[in-house]
Amino acid sequence: MKIPITTTENPLIEFRFDKKGNIYLKATSGWWGGKNSGFISSDGSEGNVAPPEELKAYIKAYNQKKVKELEKEIKIKQNRLEKIKSKSALFLKQLSKAKEKTI
């Protein structure tokens, strides 16, 4: 991957991941708020902007942040799944007891 050349007009490097996970780099002047920040574009791509000398650290921090977000989402969904399973099991147990009483 070729690192873009920065200039005084475009002193930063934007890294952007498309929906398939491919990374694209370009020189830019836009700033997105630091190492632990980022953006989501209307086309579904996501990324951040970094000084050229810190590009690797910014990409690493961005990926770590995304992993933590996904782990949190997974944990939330696992908790929801367990609640649904336990409620379903309880309901089925109560239903079979009700059937026994009516028979």
DSSP helix/strand/coil, 71: helix
H or E stretch at 81? helix 55-102
Q: Which pLDDT band holds residue 72 (cuts at 50, 70, 90)?
A: very high
Residue 103 pLDDT greater than 60, yes or no? no
CA distance 32 to 79: 34
Residue 101 pLDDT greater than 70, yes or no? no
- Please tell me the pTM assigned to this model: 0.76
Return the biggest CA–CA distance within the chain: 85
What pLDDT, on a 0 to 100 scale, did the predictor assign at position 102?
62
Mean pLDDT calculated for residue range 16-20 = 95
